[in-house]
Amino acid sequence: MTRRSILVVALLTLTAGPLLAQDAGEAAADSLTVRLPEITVEAARSTETAASAPFAVSILERDATDLALTPGRSLNEVLRPLPGIWVNDRHHFALGERISVRGVGYRSNFGVRGIQVVLDGIPLTLPDGQAFLDVVDPATVRQVELIRSPASVFWGNGSGGVLFLSTEPDEAPTFRARMQGGRYGAWQGLLEGSGTAGAWRLHGYASGNGQDGYRDHSAGMRFRGGLSAARSFGDDTALRLTAAGDVQDTENPSSLTQEQFRSDPSQARPAFRDVNAGKQSEQAQAGAFLSHDLGGATLSASTYYVYRSLDNPLTFGYITYDRNSGGTRIALRRTEGRLEGGIGIDGGVQVDDRLEYAGTVDGAPDGGVTLEQQETVLSGSAFSYLRFNATERLSVTGGLRVDRLRFEADDALTSDEFGGDDSGSRTFSALSPSVGLSYDAGPARLFAQYSTAFETPTASELSNRPGGRGGFNQQVDPQRIRGFEVGTRGVWAGANVQFDVAVFRLTVDDLITSSRKESGREVYDNLGTNVHRGVESRLTWRATDFLELMGRYTVSDFVIDDAPDSAIEGNQVPGIPKHRGYLQAEVNRNGWWARVSGEAVSSLYTNNANDAEAPSYLLMDLRVGNEGVDLGTSTVKPFVAIDNLLDERYASSVVINDTGERYYEPGPGIRYSAGVNIVF
């Protein structure tokens, strides 16, 4: 690691050195000033701005250059600069990225758990608390908001953090076509445009990407699209309509044992290859958002609908379902005066028609039906939020939310081997308080907050009963999170430095944990209590008008504090490294743009027993492109990208607590790609 660290520093120095030698007059302070954004934080239901929020929040805005000249293949590429979030890219499409915030969500071996994810105002985290991000195209994400603390007061179930993604453009009407190809058979195509039609502002995109894959049996392709329309009615009313969808078909190479990982990380798990395991899915969603300015207050209402279908051939069986979900949100906010705040109600419904077969042969269902049931989730909640501006510098905030959820299973397979009707239900309720302080100290904002979150088992987790029968698991209960944090963020204007530091402690009670049986099926139970402690930091230095340096560092001490098995008490929580560091230099000069980055990750345990671990690694990436060659009626923006310059062998993700000790999901060796944008 020492040699590699030296290489990172050397490359960053070689990139920045000649540029820093330019005339200092070109780096006039008035052209470099950086400020904290005063924009409203949509991830906090518009209750705070990024500058004044009493909790840890990060805002990432991607400009046209970043969008055009980076590959945009994975959310990891977009989110890596943000502190507190840990994204594992599996480098195949079957399971998506594993995402955790301060360790919340670490246990998810498919989909996203414990984190509220919202795309263009539509919650991807459904009423049962699980999100699938297949519909998100990283190449179109323009703004990211990340709340790093528990936030059930805003979003309810599964809100250990909030990730709010937006594809809406701010630039003038434009149209671009993008093509990209690279190693391991990777390809990408994108058409995107924005404009006006009468009073409407329109934006739309369509994309496709695919790969043969670094690993055997990891080929896949996916197609995505999105459309939005917005307009104003007078000066006080705004309406926005949005829709998005995706279709994908992919193979699943699964995970490897340590011996397989060391001998040949490009191989697939033989059992998954033999049955042609994979995933075919479709997702479509639409939403409408209306806001009306009442003068000193704002009334907002939204409604959304999400459809998803899945065919999932696996080693232990074949799972298929059709999902319909939707919801409505209404809120009234007072937005000025010494006393600000709001009230609101949320309601949601999710209906899954689930069918499972005994086996899989060549990617198709085989054997008899082992489970056939309809799973329904109903949720209702009310919340309030109050902000008291005690002085011009000091504010006190408090919030409270009450949630009630009902899960119902209607068993249609009453003549199976278990005999009889396994229909059943579970009802959960939660009270989620929060309180925070915020103080404006001039160049820095100081904050402290106590907040809470809860996370129910999902419908699929409840249906995975240890005995394999229908209905719901009656033993697994919700987990609850209590969090406290203190921190500061701000700008040192004289040095053009922006900083963000937070210290936190989370207590996770009745932790929902999973274990994968030898057959491949996962079952769920409550472990006990985890304690998550850590420090998050991010520093950005605008050195000149053409050079920016950014670094982030996170140290985590996540411990299993209490468990039914006393042998694992005091062990580290698996799946999360203790140390993560990231450093990047970005140069923009004379029409050329470049970014070189390095990410160092310490080793991490792969199971609760802490007797197996994934090794530490260092990844270096390089992006180079041109901001535009004018061809008259169009502008061409070419780019090249190289990932894993050091050809590091590493596990990009792990399967936690796998019974067969197949913990490792390898990342690819050195990768390169090249592409071009044509802007009209």
The mean-pLDDT minimum among 403-417, 474-488, 592-606 falls in: 403-417
Q: Please report the pLDDT score of residue 20 as a whole number.
A: 38
pLDDT of residue 40: 86
Residues present in the chain in total: 680
Q: How far apart are CA 72 and CA 75, in angstroms?
A: 8
Which residues constitute the domain of residue 325?
Answer: 2-679
Q: Count how many domains the chain has.
A: 1
Q: Ramachandran region of residue 295, left (φ > 0), alpha (ψ -120 to 50) or beta? A: left
Residue for token pair 């129910």 = 456
pLDDT bin (cut points 50, 70, 90) of residue 663 is very high
How confident is the model at residue 36, as a pLDDT? 60
Residue 12 scores a pLDDT above 60: no
Tokens at residue 624, please?
């180079």
Q: Per-residue pLDDT averaged across 100-117, rounded?
A: 90
Supply the pLDDT for residue 344: 96
Is the pLDDT higher at 465 or at 509? 509
| Strand partners of residue 410 | 374
Predicted confidence (pLDDT) at residue 205 exceeds the cutoff of 90: yes
Which amino acid belongs to residue 103?
A: G
State the pLDDT confidence band at 516, using cuts at 50, 70 and 90: low
Question: Is-contact 173 192, C-beta < 8 A?
Answer: no
Q: Which residues contact 58 (CB under 8 A, 6 or more apart)?
A: 82, 83, 84, 144, 145, 146, 148, 500, 538
What are 360-394's pLDDT values in tens digits? 999 999 999 998 999 999 999 999 999 999 999 99
- pLDDT tens digits for range 25-79: 333 333 344 556 677 899 998 888 888 899 999 999 999 999 999 999 999 999 9
Does pLDDT of 164 surpass 60? Answer: yes
Phi, psi of 232 (to 5 degrees): -110, 150
**216, 138, 160: which is closest to 184 by C-alpha?**
216
Q: Which residues contact 381 (CB under 8 A, 6 or more apart)?
A: 156, 345, 346, 347, 401, 402, 403, 404
- pLDDT score for 96: 86
What's the mean pLDDT when you consider all of the chain? 91
d(CA 283, CA 223): 11
Task: Write out the two tokens for 541.
Answer: 């230095």
Phi-psi domain of 317 (left: phi exceeds 0; alpha: psi -120 through 50; beta: other): left
Say if residue 8 is exposed, middle or buried (CB neighbours under 10 Å; 0-12, 13-18, 19+).
buried
CA distance 530 to 562: 7
pLDDT surpasses 50 at 3: no
- The model's pTM is 0.92
DSSP sequence for 401-431 = EEEEEEEEEEE--TTSTT-S---EEEEEEEE
Residue 231: is its pLDDT beyond 70? yes
Predicted pLDDT of residue 47: 87
Are 113 and 98 in contact, with CB atoms under 8 Å apart?
no
User: pLDDT band for position 9 (50/70/90)?
Assistant: very low
The label of the residue with tokens 């080929």 reads 219
DSSP element (H, E) containing 18 = helix 2-20
Provide the CATH number for the domain around residue 616: 2.40.170.20
Q: What is the signed CA dihedral for 257, 263, 266, 268, rounded to 10 degrees?
A: -40
Q: What single string gives the DSSP state of each residue in 456-510?
A: PPPHHHHH--TT--SS--SS---EEEEEEEEEEEEEEGGGTEEEEEEEEEEEEES
- Higher-pLDDT residue of 467 and 675 is 675
pLDDT in tens, 613-652: 999 999 999 999 999 999 988 999 999 999 999 999 999 9
Instruction: Enumerate residues 6+ apart whose C-beta is below 8 A from 213.
Output: 91, 92, 184, 185, 219, 220, 251, 253
- In this model, does residue 565 exceed pLDDT 80? yes
- Is 2's pLDDT higher than 60? no
- How far apart are the C-alpha atoms of 151 and 44, rounded to whole Å? 8
Residues 255-281, mean pLDDT to the nearest whole number:
97
> At residue 8, what are phi and psi to the nearest 5 degrees?
-60, -50
* The predicted structure's pLDDT at residue 279: 96
Phi, psi of 286 (to 5 degrees): -150, 150
The model's confidence at residue 659, banded by pLDDT at 50, 70 and 90, is: confident
Mean pLDDT of 509-531: 78
3-state secondary structure at position 69: helix
Q: How far apart are CA 332 and CA 345, in angstroms?
A: 10
Q: What is the reported pLDDT for 480?
A: 96
What SS3 class is residue 274? helix
- The label of the residue with tokens 């390169």 reads 672
- List, as one string, the DSSP characters of 644-677: -TT----EEEE-TTBTT---EEEPPSSEEEEEEE
Q: List beta partners, residue 490.
A: 444, 499
